[in-house]
Amino acid sequence: MAANKTQKKAQAVLNYDLFQPEDLTPPSPATIDTKIRNHETARPSAEMSELKFPRGRLPTVEELHRMYDLVNWLYFGGKLKKVRIEYSSRMSSAGSYSPRKKLIKIGLKYHQLFPEEIGDTLKHEMIHIRHLNHDAAFRREAERIGASVQARNHPLLQRPPRYVYICPRCGQKYPRQKRLRMASCGDCSPGGRYDVRFKLVLYSSLARKAR
C-alpha cells in the first residue's frame, strides 16, 4: 500500500513537471531583445538610463553599436539601416552623419567635456538618417524621441579661424574656416548681393603660416 502511494505521488509530480510552461528567460546578462521587451512600456527617460556608462570613460565603438540597436528598436521600430559608428578626434562638434558613407561620427573632444550627452548625440545623428536637415520634420522627431536639436558650446571647442578676410572699403573683417572665392562685404554691397568693388581680400591665414 505504501509503495502504491509513493508511486502515485511520483506520478503526480511527473505529470506536473510535464505540463509546466517552458522557461524561455535568457540567462544573465539579458540579450538586447529582452531589454527591448522589458522597456516597451517604460518612459523614454527610463529607457535612456540604459545608455549611461561608468563615470570616467566613454563607451567603446562596440558599445556604441549596441546603443544604436537599442535606440533603433525603442524609437524607430528597428527600421533604420545599419551604419558604421566611429569616434573623431579632429571634429569639435558633437557629431555628424554622412549618408554617402553611411557613417555616424561622434566628436571625442565634445564628449570628453560632456560625457553624459553621448546617448543624446547618438539619437540626434540617428534622426539625420531620415532627415538630413534641421527642418520642421527633424524637430518633430527630436521632440518625439527626446533628442536635442543643438549641442552645447564650450570655449575649448572653438577653433581659431584659418582665414581672415577684410573689406577693402570699410575694413570689416570676416573670420572663416574655409577659403572664400567670390564674396564681397555684406555691409558695403548693395542689397547684400555680390559686388566686385567690395570683394573681400585675404588678410591673414593660419594655413599659410603653417607652411
pLDDT attached to residue 18 = 32
pLDDT digits (tens, 9 = 90+) for 179-196: 888 899 888 988 778 999
Separation in Å, CA 198 to CA 145, 178, 188, 189: 47, 19, 7, 7
Task: Considering only residues 113 and 125, tell me which one the structure prediction assigns the higher pLDDT.
Answer: 125
Separation CA 193–CA 186 (nearest Å): 8
Q: Are strands 201-205 and 163-166 parallel, antiparallel or unpaired?
A: antiparallel
The mean per-residue pLDDT over the stretch 111-123 comes to 91
Q: Please check whether residue 71 is in contact with residue 126, taking contact to mean a CB–CB distance below 8 angstroms.
A: yes
What pTM does this model have?
0.55
Scan for cell 533603433, then name that residue.
72
Reply yes or no on whether the pLDDT at 73 is more than 60: yes
Q: Please check whether residue 58 is in contact with residue 118, taking contact to mean a CB–CB distance below 8 angstroms.
A: yes
Q: Quick one: DSSP state of residue 196?
A: G
Domain boundaries, the chain: 36-156, 160-210
- Quickly state the pLDDT bin for 53 (edges 50, 70, 90): low
CATH topology assigned to domain 36-156: Zincin-like (3.30.2010)
